[in-house]
Amino acid sequence: MAAESMTTGSPEPVDLDDLLEPFASRGMDLGLKRLEGALAAGGHPERRFRAVQVAGTNGKGSIATFLHAILRAAGLRCGIYRSPHLVSWCERIQLDDRWIAPATLRADLARWRPIAAAHQLTPFEWLTAAAFDRFALADLDLSVLEVGLGGRLDATTAHPHRPVVGFGAIGLDHCEHLGADLASIAREKAGVLSGGCLAFSAPQAPEVATMLEAEARRLGAELRWVAPLAACEAGGPELGLPGMVQRSNGAVAVGMARALAERGWPRPQARLSEAAILAGLAAARWPGRLDTRHFRGVPLLLDGAHNPPAAVVLRRELDRLGAGGRTWLIGIQRHKDGAAVLRALLRPEDRALIVPIPDHRAWSLDELAAACPELAGQLASVLELQDGLQQLTGAAAGKGLPGSALPVVAGSLYLLGAVMPLLDPLQARSPAPTSAGGPGLGS
């Protein structure tokens, strides 16, 4: 099977318009029956590979990335299924250290097209079926499945045996599909649990923690709480993903890795050693998370911060850096709580350029100014991303800002996906180290 090397940035974009209808044209249609029927018709690929699953509102992609890196550092063959992608559909399916090749992804989707049509699969369900089939064909030790939305009815939950589960931070997002309060959303996320599985979570809001514990008891799962990893200056491990929030995400990934070793799975002869865990945490890479990039030589930060909880976390990270007076390029999808996102991101000394998100409905300057009149004087509009980046970095260069006060692009992962091709190329990074030996896992 041809695959693209996992080097820097993102794989080449692949045009799937002739295969997949736009996600927005059908709307959200959660459920498992359609996909379960399609998988049965396709020979049950979901029964032919081993998997763990990561759910949550924010941080689940980072947890999946950390865990995948740890497993690779231990010498295991490992796949990962992510959503959404930033630049290329190929980002959604990774096999070992390579993305799926565009030609392979197109061929996989085309092979599943008759079954997808017969069972009226959504685009995400169709992609999931193709990913499951690819993982089954690839003879992997394990695959890490990132939930797309919710949990109980998400397509990834069609995999029948997920003995280890991780939870990222659970907050208010997609309320129109998951429920209007934290307890309701947590109940939907907890739907990934099953009898006998072992789940891990960093600290959650009290109502989320209560619901996760109740659902774990009801479903016969074991839920373990993990403390965030210590900071480097306090003797904690080096992380390949920046920001203090990654200390919580990394702790969940470590718990999941240790649980696999505890159960002698996925391969009894493989040792998920402490050395492999440390190497994987340091080697993890995933763009768009407090990500320092450059536009025409001027540095800036990228972070999706696509919902209010993520915006609060980003602002906390920036405040920890200790510099104010930031300039922002912000694009927020129209179905998100734009006012809450904006209020969480901006400080009184900040200025923000509000930009449309290509191919997505987004909040306009006038709408945000009306929703947040106290912030209206800090906002301006820009119509083109290129112009927005020029204004953003031009202002930063003119002010001679210190590195800790870098301008920021935020508000939507789709905005980041549109911005990334306009940025300077990334420098090459070393591949992840591998280590199958070591002294053992420790406590």
Residues 299 and 185 in one domain: no
Indicate the pTM of the whole model: 0.91
Res 4: pLDDT: 52
Answer whether residue 29 is part of any domain: no
340: Cα separation from own chain's centroid? 21
Residue 47 has pLDDT above 80, yes or no: yes
Residues 195 and 309 in one domain: no
Give residue-wise pLDDT tens across range 197-223: 999 999 999 999 999 999 999 999 999
Cα angle value 240/246/248 (rounded, 5°): 135
428: Cα separation from own chain's centroid? 22
Answer whether residue 209 is part of any domain: yes
Which run of H or E residues covers position 295?
strand 291-295
Answer whether residue 39 is part of any domain: no
Res 46: pLDDT: 98
Answer whether residue 21 is part of any domain: no
Q: Which residues on adjacent β-strands are paired with residue 171? A: none
H helix intervals, 263-350: 274-283, 308-321, 338-345
Taking the CA atoms of 301, 304, 306 and 311 in sequence, report the sign of the dihedral they define.
negative
Answer whether residue 102 is part of any domain: yes
The CA distance from 379 to 375, in Å, is: 7
Answer whether residue 99 is part of any domain: yes
129: Cα separation from own chain's centroid? 19
Residues 279 and 297 in one domain: no
Structure tokens at 165: 């589960």
Give residue-wise pLDDT tens across range 102-117: 999 999 999 999 999 9
Residues 271 and 342 in one domain: no
Give residue-wise pLDDT tens across range 331-358: 999 999 999 999 999 999 999 999 999 9
Residue 437 has pLDDT above 50, yes or no: no
Share of the chain above pLDDT 70, in %: 88
Residues 193 and 307 in one domain: no
Res 438: pLDDT: 35
Q: How many residues does the chain have?
A: 443
Residues 273 and 296 in one domain: no
382 compared with 428, residue with greater pLDDT: 382
Which run of H or E residues covers position 399?
helix 385-399
The CA distance from 79 to 139, in Å, is: 10
Last residue of a domain, one of 235, 266, 283: 283
Q: Which residues 6+ apart lie within 8 Å of 364 measured at CB?
A: 354, 356, 381
Give residue-wise pLDDT tens across range 376-420: 999 999 999 999 999 998 866 655 555 558 999 999 999 999 999
Nearest Cα to Cα of residue 148 among 252, 37, 61: 61
Residues 74 and 168 in one domain: yes
Residues 277 and 300 in one domain: no
Q: What's the domain range around 295?
A: 291-422
Res 141: pLDDT: 94
Domain harbouring 73, CATH code: 3.40.1190.10
* pLDDT confidence bin for 22, thresholds 50/70/90: confident
**In this structure, are strands 78-81 and 51-55 parallel, antiparallel, or unpaired?**
unpaired
Nearest Cα to Cα of residue 204 among 180, 224, 220, 222: 224
Last residue of a domain, one of 248, 283, 318: 283
Residues 185 and 306 in one domain: no
Determine the straight-line distance between the first and last CA of the chain, rounded to whole angstroms.
Answer: 39
The CA distance from 133 to 81, in Å, is: 12
Answer whether residue 17 is part of any domain: no
Q: Which residues 6+ apart lie within 8 Å of 281 measured at CB?
A: 66, 69, 70, 229, 237, 238, 239, 240, 250, 253, 254
Residues 225 and 125 in one domain: yes
* pLDDT confidence bin for 153, thresholds 50/70/90: very high
Helix orientation angle between 274-283 and 60-73, rounded to the nearest 10 degrees: 130
Number of domains the chain is built from: 2
Residues 171 and 141 in one domain: yes
Residues 268 and 372 in one domain: no
Domain harbouring 412, CATH code: 3.90.190.20
The CA distance from 160 to 190, in Å, is: 16
Res 25: pLDDT: 62
Give residue-wise pLDDT tens across range 296-339: 999 999 998 989 999 999 999 999 887 678 999 999 999 999 99
Answer whether residue 167 is part of any domain: yes
Mean pLDDT of the chain, nearest integer: 89
The CA distance from 192 to 119, in Å, is: 23
**In this structure, are strands 327-330 and 408-410 parallel, antiparallel, or unpaired?**
parallel
